Amino acid sequence: MAHDIHIIGGGMAGSEAAWQLARRGWRVRLSEMRGTGERSPAHQTDHLAELVCSNSFRSDDSEKNAVGLLHHEMRECGSLIMAAAEKARVPAGSALAVDREVFSAEVEAALTAQPGLELVRERVDALPTAGLTIVATGPLTAEALAHSIGAATGADSLAFFDAIAPIVYRESIDMDVAWMASRWDKGAEASIALGGDGRDYINCPMTRDQYLAFREELLAGDKSTFKEWEANTPYFDGCMPIEVMAERGVDTLRFGPMKPVGLDNPHWATPEHPNGRWPHAVVQLRQDNVLGTIWNMVGFQTKLKYAEQQRIFRTIPGLENAEFARFGGLHRNTFLNSPTLLDRQLRLKSAPHVRFAGQITGCEGYVESAAVGMIAGLMAAAELAGREWSAPPRTTALGALLAHITGDAEAETYQPMNINFGLFPPLTEVKKKQRKEAYTTRAKAELAPWTATLPA
């Protein structure tokens, strides 16, 4: 089938870009390497939009949270990723978490149902020399294509390490020790609407002595070693291995993924404290599929070797007999210095027929990756229609993220970034306690006129 645009990569960004174009009647060739017998070091399946690290899209609160606002804006733009996430949603308090298999199946079914979209299982080894193209190969771009991109940009890609958290079988968790609760019961209404009971996390409590012993095990555990050429590659702070956090201080984990606040352990109840008492630290697990049979260890990305993961994580109270559906892992991610290499429409300055989208541009996170893919698709749709492109207002989450990638960030210190209110034009005249809500109110008001300008 002849095509109007070629999209390379069927992950979150590529799938969203393909959807935005195909639903507008443009002929799309979507190339995906998985399905040819090859996979990246992190992928487990050949499905489109596979979720590699976590099953969470983070907070769905669009009133006071930047990523929740991004959810809202993507829904307003007809995002496939957000629609599929809604169908695959599992209870997770105020967060948006999904069944991975259901989610990927929804995305793939929607795309393959588009008559103008051709899904081709193939490896692309070089940037096309002509024709509109969106490269959305993600942070694990195959070596040959990465070399081609490097040759076209005249610069080496930056890189950082990303880590994956383990997944545990629910039936192997000791619920006489662990208990179900959401921190401060947050998100109870959303949970109940999805069939939950408002207590969406499994919590494994630790005393002070247990926590200190666990931290020592993390520090001493046998870990993956780096190759010589990887030695100076930094970690991304938003997905840091648990043992690296442990190295940063005795209480770093207790103020991070193992924070105990808002979690009163009913197993420790006494007449003086009938609801329980506060643990010194807590390990949380989040439901990872609709059936509720597998649970993700929240914030437990790791570079520990598999045998060490099983040994050390089984010292966690409630996980003494844990069986693992998947161990954690570590992989090297690459991304472009986008403020230097890309123009304001995500086009490669040295080859403007090529756009980049997703994590390879230096955004971080599932939602952010899909959002940049959506924007790239909308830009390409406008170009194909011969219409002038109008960028989303910088006061919106979409506009703030796009501006950061394409020029607002300092090129010399450019690093992967999640959406956050620090990327928005400041509202210094608003009191600090009211500022987050003010950011989202302003963004929603200014989004609507922009969406009316999008190509039909």
Residues 320 and 395 in one domain: no
The domain total for the chain is 2
Quote the Cα angle for 449-455-456, to 5°: 100
Model confidence band, residue 95 (pLDDT cutoffs 50, 70, 90): very high
- Its sign, for the CA torsion 370, 371, 372, 378, is positive
Model confidence band, residue 53 (pLDDT cutoffs 50, 70, 90): confident
In a domain, 202, yes or no: yes
In a domain, 274, yes or no: yes
Residues 393 and 439 in one domain: yes
Looking at the chain, the whole-number percentage of residues with pLDDT higher than 70 is 92
What region does 263 belong to: left with phi over 0, alpha with psi -120 to 50, or beta?
beta
Segments forming the whole domain that contains residue 282 = 164-332
Confidence at residue 412, expressed as pLDDT on a 0 to 100 scale:
78
Looking at the chain, the whole-number percentage of residues with pLDDT higher than 90 is 68
Confidence at residue 153, expressed as pLDDT on a 0 to 100 scale:
86
Sequence-ordered strand ranges (E) for 130-255: 133-135, 158-164, 167-169, 179-181, 201-206
Q: Among the three residues 303, 332, 361, which one is the final residue of a domain in this structure?
A: 332
The C-alpha atoms of residue 301 and residue 162 are separated, in whole angstroms, by 8
The C-alpha atoms of residue 361 and residue 368 are separated, in whole angstroms, by 10
Residues 363 and 248 in one domain: no
The binding site for FAD consists of 9-14
Weakest mean pLDDT among 82-86, 215-219, 355-359, 417-421: 417-421
Residues 190 and 292 in one domain: yes
Specify which residues 158 forms β-bridges with.
Answer: 335
The tens digit of pLDDT for each residue in 238-284 reads 678 899 899 999 999 999 999 999 999 999 988 877 777 889 999 99
Contact (CB, 8 A) for 243 and 221: yes
Tell me the C-alpha to C-alpha distance, in Å, between residue 88 and each of 52, 188, 290: 16, 18, 7
Residues 175 and 150 in one domain: no
Q: Which two structure tokens, joined as six digits, stand for 31?
A: 């190339």
Q: Among the three residues 332, 367, 401, which one is the final residue of a domain in this structure?
A: 332
Residues 149 and 269 in one domain: no
pLDDT at 197 over 70: no
Q: Residue range 72-93: average pLDDT? A: 96
Helix (H) and strand (E) counts in the chain: 13, 17
Average pLDDT taken over every residue of the chain: 90
In a domain, 456, yes or no: no
Q: Residue range 181-185: average pLDDT? A: 82
Residues 46 and 186 in one domain: no
Residues 69 and 191 in one domain: no
The tens digit of pLDDT for each residue in 288-315 reads 877 788 899 999 999 899 999 999 999 9
The tens digit of pLDDT for each residue in 337-366 reads 999 999 999 999 999 999 999 999 989 889
3-state secondary structure of 292: coil
In a domain, 424, yes or no: yes
Residues 70 and 148 in one domain: yes
Phi, psi of 322 (to 5 degrees): -60, 140
Specify which residues 235 forms β-bridges with.
Answer: 161
Which residues are within 8 A (CB) of 289 and not within 5 positions of it... i.e. 6 or more apart?
55, 90, 99, 100, 101, 102
Confidence at residue 154, expressed as pLDDT on a 0 to 100 scale:
79
Model confidence band, residue 212 (pLDDT cutoffs 50, 70, 90): very high
Confidence at residue 191, expressed as pLDDT on a 0 to 100 scale:
52
Residues 132 and 31 in one domain: yes
Burial class of 210 by CB neighbour count within 10 A (0 to 12, 13 to 18, 19+): middle
Confidence at residue 229, expressed as pLDDT on a 0 to 100 scale:
45
Residues 196 and 230 in one domain: yes
Model confidence band, residue 129 (pLDDT cutoffs 50, 70, 90): very high
The binding site consists of 9-14
Q: Residue range 79-86: average pLDDT? A: 98
Residues 12 and 151 in one domain: yes
pLDDT at 16 over 80: yes
The tens digit of pLDDT for each residue in 361-394 reads 989 889 999 999 999 999 999 999 999 999 999 9
CATH number of the domain enclosing 125:
3.50.50.60
3-state secondary structure of 102: helix
What region does 223 belong to: left with phi over 0, alpha with psi -120 to 50, or beta?
beta
Q: Among the three residues 332, 350, 380, which one is the final residue of a domain in this structure?
A: 332
The tens digit of pLDDT for each residue in 246-257 reads 999 999 999 999
